[in-house]
A and B are shown apart, each in its own frame.
Chain A
Amino acid sequence: DTAVSQTPKYLVTQMGNDKSIKCEQNLGHDTMYWYKQDSKKFLKIMFSYNNKELIINETVPNRFSPKSPDKAHLNLHINSLELGDSAVYFCASSQWDTQETQYFGPGTRLLVL
């Protein structure tokens, strides 16, 4: 069973389009995250949600809007895609405890043309 899953795995789209990435976890965790990994493999947190409540928002452009319909799901919607949005986006989950391990999904590779 996949612990943290993301769809789609690959996403190729044109500048200006709107796209969504979905994430689901079956670990029973109450906290979920979105990370962005750039072309140099640098990983940076974008958002975190605890029990559907936004906890961390790391100065991400408001074209990015996370939505958590329930504790097991955290989706990422991106409006007006730009070339610089091309990256790998990782979803992760953990229990709400600062020592708890974050479990990562396989990533969504977004290419904006």
Chain B
Amino acid sequence: AQSVTQLGSHVSVSEGALVLLRCNYSSSVPPYLFWYVQYPNQGLQLLLKYTSAATLVKGINGFEAEFKKSETSFHLTKPSAHMSDAAEYFCAVGLLGGGGNKLTFGTGTQLKVEL
């Protein structure tokens, strides 16, 4: 079984400040991990993914995430927030090596960026 926990359903930062969105996973086998972003009334767009290569993964729009096996975490960061980053962010875990392409999503974190 696999699961994802996103700590903080709402995060608010000032423009230019560091963005940190937390994701912890649980998986019985080596996981692969994703961060998706959802803008209002739109579908999900991939930000980045971890598939057992480099533990520090760089994505689009200046986001990156670090896979830490010892902490079972995959937190998303961006050094400097921009107003356009305001959106809902989802962490997801999949099974590496089997499981039928099933992604399990976290409950999402709403990021608000203030002036």
Residues of A within 8 A of B (CB): 4, 31, 33, 40-45, 48, 50, 55-56, 90, 92, 94, 96-107
**Total interface residues on B, using CB and 8 Å?**
28
Judged by a CB distance under 8 angstroms, whether B55 is at the interface is no
B101 near A48 (CB under 8 angstroms)?
Answer: yes
A105 near B34 (CB under 8 angstroms)?
Answer: no
A104 near B100 (CB under 8 angstroms)?
Answer: no
* Known contacts A42-B108, A48-B100, A48-B101, A4 near B43 by CB under 8 Å: yes
* Known contacts A55-B100, A98-B98, A101-B34, A107 near B46 by CB under 8 Å: no
Please, how many angstroms separate the alpha-carbon atoms of A4 and B46 in the complex?
14
* Known contacts A43-B90, A55-B100, A101 near B43 by CB under 8 Å: no
Looking across the interface, which residue of chain B has its beta carbon closest to that of A58? B102
Judged by a CB distance under 8 angstroms, whether B84 is at the interface is no
A106 near B42 (CB under 8 angstroms)?
Answer: yes
Cβ contacts under 8 Å, A44 to chain B: 105
Contacting residue for B94 out of A4, A98, A107, CB 8 A: A98
Q: Which 9 A-B pairs have the closest CB atoms?
A: A104-B43, A43-B105, A104-B44, A99-B51, A106-B43, A41-B108, A55-B100, A101-B46, A56-B100
Cβ contacts under 8 Å, B108 to chain A: 41-43
> Would you give the shortest CB distance from B43 to chain A, in whole angstroms?
4
Please, how many angstroms separate the alpha-carbon atoms of A92 and B46 in the complex?
12
Looking across the interface, which residue of chain A has its beta carbon closest to that of B34? A101
Please, how many angstroms separate the alpha-carbon atoms of A92 and B32 in the complex?
18
Contacting residue for B102 out of A40, A45, A90, CB 8 A: A45
Please, how many angstroms separate the alpha-carbon atoms of A48 and B104 in the complex?
13
A98 near B43 (CB under 8 angstroms)?
Answer: no
Query: Which of B42, B88, B97, B101 lies at the interface centre, i.e. has the most chain A CB atoms within 10 A of its CB?
Result: B101
